[in-house]
Structure 1
Amino acid sequence: MKNLAQELRVQRWDDHRYYHHSRINQSLHLLSAISFVISYGLLFVDPAMAALLAWCVSMTSRQAGHFFFEPRGYDEVNQATDEHKEAIKIGYNIRRKIVLLAVWVALPALLWLQPSLFGLIEPATDVRGFLHDVGISWLSLGVAGLLFRVLQLWQQQSLMTGLTWATKIITDPFHDIWLYHKAPIYLLRGELIDPMDHVQHPQSR
C-alpha cells in the first residue's frame, strides 16, 4: 500500500504539472469532477443515467479543457515538448482519447441502427429505452476502457503502475475538487494560465 500511495502521488503530480496549466481547463475539470461525484451516487440508483451524465457532462467538459484550452506548445515550466509529454503519458494521451471518443460517438449510432445489438439485448421500443441502452453501453465502454489501459500498462510497465493509474482515475473527481476549487476565481481575475510557481519551485509543495 505504501508503494501504491507513492506511485499515486507521482502520477497525480505529473498529471497536474504537465496537463493542467490553463485556468479554463482547471475550471472545466472542477465542473467535470462535481458531475462525476454525482454520477457515482447515481450508480447505485440508475446506472444508465449515471453513465449519461458522466459521458455527456463530465467527460465532454474534461476533454474540451484538454483539447481546446490547454497549451500544446513547448512547456517552459517543465522544459518538455508536447511530443515528449504525449509519449510518456501514463493514461490516455490525445491519440488514445480520440479513439475512445470515436467509439463513444459510434455506440448510439450502432444502437439506432441495430437496437438489439445483433440479438444480444432486448431492443428498445421508445426513447426512454433507447437512452437506457445508450447509457448502459457507455457505462460498459468506461469499464472496458479502464480495464484495457490497466492491462496495457501491466504489459508495458508493471501491474502496480496499471492498478495505481486505475485508482487515480476512479478517485480523480474528489482530488480535482480539492485541487481546482479556486480555479474559477483565478479565471474571473483574468488569469488564463496558472503560473505554476509550485512546479518551478517544488520545495513549496
Structure 2
Amino acid sequence: MTDTLSHSTGKIAAFRAQLDEQRWDDHRYYHHSTINQSLHFLSASTFIGAYILMFHDPALASLLGWCVAMTSRQAGHFFFEPKGFDTVNDVTHQHKEEIKVGYNLVRKVVFMTMWALMPLLLLVSPTLFGLFAPIPGPMGFLRHVGLMWLALGIGGLLFRTFQLFFVRDVPTGLVWAAKIITDPFNDFIQYRHAPVRLLKGERLDAGIATR
C-alpha cells in the first residue's frame, strides 16, 4: 500500500515537473514582447469566459474562443514577438521552432489556414453534407461555423497529443495536452501585469530570463 502510494506520488510529481518545464520553455522562448503578453492576457480572459459559456452554448463559446481569444493570441506570436537571435536564451529562432513541443509557427500557419477556410464548406453545403440540421439565416450559419471550429480545436489538440506519443513519448503528450487546456488560467495569472507594463513603455520583458 505504501509502495503504491509512493509510486503514485512520484508520478504526479514528475507530471507537475514536466508541466512546469514546458510552461517555462514556452514563456522564455516565445513571450519576450509585452504586447504579446498583453494579448495573451486578453486571450486568457476570453478563453476563461468561453470555458464557462461552453456549458450553456458550445457554438457561441467556440465563436468567442476562436474569433477573439485565438486570433489575439496568435497575432501576438506572429506580429509582435521577436524572431531574430534570442540573446537571452542564446539560441536562434530556428532552433526554438525545431524543439517546440506543441504547434510552432509553421504548424500554426497550417492550423489557422484550416480555420479560415472551414466556413467555405458551409457555402458549398449549408448542412455540411447532411451533418447539420438546416438552420436558416446568418445566425444559423454562424452557429454551424462555431461547431465546426469547436471540432477543429478538439481535433487539433488530440492530433498533436497522439503525435507526441510517437515523436516524443506518452508523458510528453499528456503533459502538453494538460498545458494547453490550463493555459488560459496560467496565462491570466502570469501576464496580468503586462498591459500596465506596456503602458509604462516597457516593450520587452526584462525579467524573461529569471525563473
Q: Same fold (TM over 0.5)?
A: yes
- How does 1:156-167 map onto structure 2 within 5 Å? 156-167=167-178
SS in 1 for 2:127: coil
Q: Which amino acid aligns with 1:35?
A: T
State the Cα distance separating 1:121 from its structure 2 match: 2.3
Matched residues in 2 for 1:117 and 1:46: separation?
A: 20
Matched residues in 2 for 1:63 and 1:35: separation?
A: 14
State the Cα distance separating 1:129 from its structure 2 match: 1.1
2:193 is equivalent to residue 169 of structure 1? no
Deviation per CA, 1:23-53: give whole Å up to 9, x if none: 0000000000000000000000000000000
Moved beyond 6 Å, runs of 4+? none
State the Cα distance separating 1:120 from its structure 2 match: 2.5
Deviation per CA, 1:85-137: give whole Å up to 9, x if none: 00000010011001110110111111122112122222332111111100000
2:41 is equivalent to residue 30 of structure 1? yes
Unmatched tracts of structure 2, length 5 or more: 1-11
SS in 2 for 1:45: coil
Unmatched tracts of structure 1, length 5 or more: none
- How does 1:80-95 map onto structure 2 within 5 Å? 80-95=91-106
2:124 is equivalent to residue 113 of structure 1? yes
Q: Which stretch of the first structure deviates more once superposed, 77-86 or 116-125?
A: 116-125
2:31 is equivalent to residue 40 of structure 1? no
Residue equivalent to 1:60? 71
State the Cα distance separating 1:167 from its structure 2 match: 0.4
Q: Which amino acid aligns with 1:121?
A: F
Q: Which amino acid aligns with 1:9?
A: D
State the Cα distance separating 1:6 from its structure 2 match: 0.6
After superposition, the CA RMSD in angstroms is 1.0
Q: Which amino acid aligns with 1:40?
A: Y
SS in 2 for 1:74: coil
Is the radius of gyration larger for structure 1 or structure 2? 2
Residue equivalent to 1:7? 18
Matched residues in 2 for 1:125 and 1:181: separation?
A: 41
Residue equivalent to 2:108? 97
2:28 is equivalent to residue 17 of structure 1? yes
Matched residue pairs, number? 200
Matched residues in 2 for 1:79 and 1:143: separation?
A: 35
State the Cα distance separating 1:11 from its structure 2 match: 0.1
Length-normalised TM-score, structure 1: 0.95
Identity of aligned residues (%): 56
SS in 2 for 1:85: helix
Residue equivalent to 2:151? 140
